[in-house]
């Protein structure tokens, strides 16, 4: 049984500019738009006004089945409405028409795209509440012992009962349901978007709704009234809070080779320097300087730990993300390497930093970038590869598909079938040189598995410069030239960069380089994010309170301080 939703949402951070006629009250409501990315992505923006007058918002990417993507901040001043959705690193600049019914503007997420919103006419009007109006929470136990908290928000309207669904631990909010039916004490809720349904019996005292949730298979689900929404907050106990026992500065520096300005945070230990330092390199996808995902901020936690242990840390927003300039969508891993080199050059200008002790820490794809830079830049004193690939992307992806499928409860046979299909797709991408023919063949091979818009979005990724580079680049090319000290670590339960496939390849390449100062270790019980995990499935990432295992943090800090 798969988890309800595993999000791989590539949607939006936003900033809207509105006409002066639109008030806070007027802008509240639902707005629908279509983003043309090679495929049509239908978006719904939900804006609400709290009792204190503050605006809040969430965003749905309907075709990607990504619902309730949180908008980090919403502000309205004069004619300008600014929204920030940090989860997906995008921006939107728009203007509301005088009648308050449309917003015209441009969406930017790596590259600018036109995006217009129209006020939805599908809003339901509330009437006298029913006896079950409100929020009802329960916990689903799915495969691998994973527990998922879900919340149904039920409301009576002039057209009858309606509801939305939150999958709390997956960061999904406001998933629309298809139909709510009540027959006496029996309640049924259909959720077509995820091919799911809930049916239960309402207790006479309204203390519970006991029933069954069905999505492929059936699971018991007991719902209880949710009294305090603070119960739903995801705990991230490792996130540091200010004031820090060290200096932290917002800085920026230039990648002059590619005309990109990187916005970053530099943390510097207290005391007399100069200090050793590291540049952190994010994984794939447009990432902010904290490498934020699913409520976790791995690079914030890592930089805090290292700086408290006497190591300065530079972490930057990826190009085209956050406050950094540049076009993320057209960049490859090789381009990101030049951004990292710009970070090394910047650290050399800081008097607090020892220029002879500057290293790199790369996570996932960042573990490919670090050796690329170290192989050609003598200013790099050491590198740490956190779940860094040791083989080509066209070898990693099938292994990843199989490992995730098995960790999610699929049989070994079904997981192997999925991996075989992935290899067929990759072979097609590598051998078909006619772009039009490639797109047509990919559509044929992927038809029936996913919705048309999802197929279009994946084909756009598969035909991008980044993907072509990723699947054909062999990390051993750079590793065989790296002679500085190297620490390569993988989690034993990493399903995205499987350690049994990648660590041996890294060891072999470094031995071929004649490198006498490397360590390659598999850390027991840890996943791709270096969290202590049960299965290693990405479905667990959001549910685990731990952001990075103390074992991994101590391993990196102590190794760096020995260099």
Percent of the chain exceeding pLDDT 70 equals 88
Of the candidate ranges 140-144, 325-329, 381-385, 405-409, the one whose mean pLDDT is the lowest: 140-144
Phi and psi torsions of 66, nearest 5°? -110, 110
Q: What is the mean pLDDT of residues 108-135?
A: 77
> Is 6 within the bounds of a domain?
no
Phi and psi torsions of 404, nearest 5°? -65, -40
- Is residue 340 located within the same domain as residue 482? yes
Higher pLDDT, 232 or 238: 238
* Contact yes or no for 277/313 (Cβ under 8 A): yes
- Is residue 315 located within the same domain as residue 439? no
Q: Return the pLDDT at 143.
A: 62
Is the pLDDT at 541 greater than 60? The verdict is yes
- Is residue 92 located within the same domain as residue 187? no
* Contact yes or no for 498/403 (Cβ under 8 A): yes
Q: What is the mean pLDDT of residues 116-144?
A: 80
Structural domain tally of the chain?
4
Residues 6+ apart with CB under 8 A from 444: none
- Is residue 61 located within the same domain as residue 82? yes
> Is 128 within the bounds of a domain?
no
* Contact yes or no for 539/528 (Cβ under 8 A): no
- List the one residue out of 551, 520, 546 whose CA is nearest residue 534: 546
Higher pLDDT, 201 or 216: 201
> Is 237 within the bounds of a domain?
no
Strands 196-202 and 112-119: unpaired
Look at residue 311 and give its three-state secondary structure.
coil
> Is 259 within the bounds of a domain?
yes
Of the candidate ranges 20-24, 228-232, 432-436, the one whose mean pLDDT is the lowest: 20-24
Q: How many CA atoms lie within 13 A of 94 on its CB side?
A: 31
Cα-Cα end-to-end distance for the chain: 46
Q: Cite the beta strand spans of 91-195 per DSSP E.
A: 91-96, 102-108, 112-119, 134-141, 147-157, 160-167, 172-176, 179-183, 186-191
Sheet arrangement for strand 196-202: 172-176, 160-167, 147-157, 134-141, 217-225, 209-215, 196-202, 186-191, 179-183
Higher pLDDT, 380 or 97: 380
Q: State the Cα–Cα distance between residues 49 and 56, nearest whole angstrom.
A: 6
Q: What is the mean pLDDT of residues 10-36?
A: 49
Average pLDDT over the chain, rounded to an integer = 86
What are residue 334's DSSP bridge partners? none
Q: Return the pLDDT at 515.
A: 97
Q: State the Cα–Cα distance between residues 160 and 470, nearest whole angstrom.
A: 51
> Is 241 within the bounds of a domain?
no
- List the one residue out of 243, 249, 242 whose CA is nearest residue 350: 249
Q: Return the pLDDT at 18.
A: 20
Per-residue pLDDT reduced to its tens digit, 278-287: 999 999 988 9
- Is residue 466 located within the same domain as residue 381? no
- Is residue 365 located within the same domain as residue 260? yes
pLDDT confidence band for 227 (50 / 70 / 90): confident
pLDDT confidence band for 275 (50 / 70 / 90): very high
Look at residue 533 and give its three-state secondary structure.
coil
CATH number at residue 349: 3.40.50.1820
Per-residue pLDDT reduced to its tens digit, 150-193: 999 999 888 889 998 988 877 677 788 889 999 999 999 998 87
Enclosing H/E stretch for 506 = helix 499-512
Residue at which a domain ends, from 119, 150, 169: 119
Is the pLDDT at 482 greater than 90? The verdict is yes
CATH number at residue 64: 2.40.128.120
Q: Return the pLDDT at 14.
A: 20
Q: State the Cα–Cα distance between residues 90 and 13, nearest whole angstrom.
A: 4
Length of the chain counted residue by residue: 563
Of the candidate ranges 213-217, 246-250, 344-348, 477-481, the one whose mean pLDDT is the lowest: 213-217
Q: What is the mean pLDDT of residues 21-49?
A: 72
- Region for residue 78 given its phi and psi (left: phi exceeds 0; alpha: psi -120 to 50; beta: otherwise): left
Q: Return the pLDDT at 385.
A: 98
Of the candidate ranges 67-76, 320-329, 366-375, the one whose mean pLDDT is the lowest: 67-76
Q: Return the pLDDT at 6.
A: 27
- pTM over the 0.75 mark: no
* Contact yes or no for 217/1 (Cβ under 8 A): yes
Is the pLDDT at 66 greater than 90? The verdict is no
pLDDT confidence band for 367 (50 / 70 / 90): very high
Domain extent at residue 176: 134-232
What are residue 81's DSSP bridge partners? 16, 76
- Is residue 370 located within the same domain as residue 487? yes
Q: State the Cα–Cα distance between residues 544 and 360, nearest whole angstrom.
A: 27
Q: Cite the beta strand spans of 346-466 per DSSP E.
A: 353-363, 382-386
């Amino acid at each position: 049984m798969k988890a309800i939703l595993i999000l791989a949402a590539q949607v939006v951070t936003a900033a809207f500019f509105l006409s002066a006629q639109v008030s806070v009250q007027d802008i509240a409501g639902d707005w629908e738009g279509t983003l043309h990315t090679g495929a049509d992505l239908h978006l719904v923006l939900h804006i609400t006004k709290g009792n204190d007058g503050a605006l809040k918002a969430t965003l749905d990417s309907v075709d990607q089945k990504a619902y309730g993507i949180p908008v980090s901040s919403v502000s309205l001043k004069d004619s300008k409405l600014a929204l920030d959705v940090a989860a997906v690193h995008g921006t939107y600049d728009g203007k509301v028409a005088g009648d308050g019914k449309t917003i015209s503007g441009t969406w930017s997420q790596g590259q600018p795209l036109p995006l217009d919103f129209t006020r939805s006419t599908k809003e339901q009007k509330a009437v006298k509440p029913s006896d079950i109006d409100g929020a009802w929470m329960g916990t689903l136990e799915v495969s691998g012992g994973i527990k998922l908290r879900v919340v149904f928000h039920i409301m009576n309207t002039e057209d009858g009962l309606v509801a939305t669904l939150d999958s709390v631990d997956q960061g999904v909010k406001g998933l629309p349901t298809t139909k709510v039916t009540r027959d006496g004490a029996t309640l049924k809720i259909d959720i077509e978007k995820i091919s799911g349904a809930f049916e239960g019996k309402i207790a006479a005292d309204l203390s519970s709704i006991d029933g069954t949730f069905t999505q492929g298979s059936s699971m018991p689900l007991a719902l209880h009234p949710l009294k305090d929404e603070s119960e739903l907050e995801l705990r991230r106990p490792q996130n540091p809070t200010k004031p820090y026992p060290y200096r932290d500065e917002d800085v920026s520096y230039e990648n002059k080779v590619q005309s990109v300005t990187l916005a970053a945070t530099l943390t510097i230990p207290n005391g007399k320097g100069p200090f050793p330092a590291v540049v952190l390199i994010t994984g794939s996808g447009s990432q902010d300087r904290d490498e934020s995902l699913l409520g976790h901020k791995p690079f914030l936690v890592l930089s805090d730990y290292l700086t408290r242990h006497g190591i300065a840390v530079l972490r930057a927003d990826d190009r085209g993300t956050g406050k950094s300039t540049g076009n993320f969508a057209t960049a490859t891993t090789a381009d990101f390497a030049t951004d990292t080199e710009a970070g090394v050059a910047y650290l050399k200008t800081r008097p607090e930093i020892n220029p002879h002790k500057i290293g790199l820490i790369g996570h996932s794809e960042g573990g490919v970038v670090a050796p690329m830079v170290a192989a050609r830049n003598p200013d790099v004193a050491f590198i740490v590869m956190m779940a860094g690939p040791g083989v080509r992307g066209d070898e990693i992806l099938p292994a990843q598909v199989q490992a995730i499928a098995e960790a999610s409860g699929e049989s070994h046979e079904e997981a192997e079938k999925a991996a075989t299909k992935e290899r067929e797709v990759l072979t097609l991408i590598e051998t078909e040189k006619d772009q039009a023919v490639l797109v047509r063949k990919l559509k044929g091979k992927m038809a029936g598995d996913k919705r048309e818009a999802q197929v279009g979005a994946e084909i756009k990724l598969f035909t991008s410069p980044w993907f072509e580079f990723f699947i054909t680049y062999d990390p051993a090319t750079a590793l065989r030239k790296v002679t500085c000290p190297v620490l390569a670590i993988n989690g034993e339960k990493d399903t995205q960069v499987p350690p049994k496939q990648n660590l041996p390849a890294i060891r072999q390449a470094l031995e071929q380089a004649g490198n006498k100062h490397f360590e390659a270790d598999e850390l027991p019980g840890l996943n791709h994010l270096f969290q202590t995990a049960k299965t290693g499935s990405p479905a667990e990432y959001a549910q685990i309170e731990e952001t990075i295992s103390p074992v991994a943090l101590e391993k990196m800090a102590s190794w760096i301080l020995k260099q």
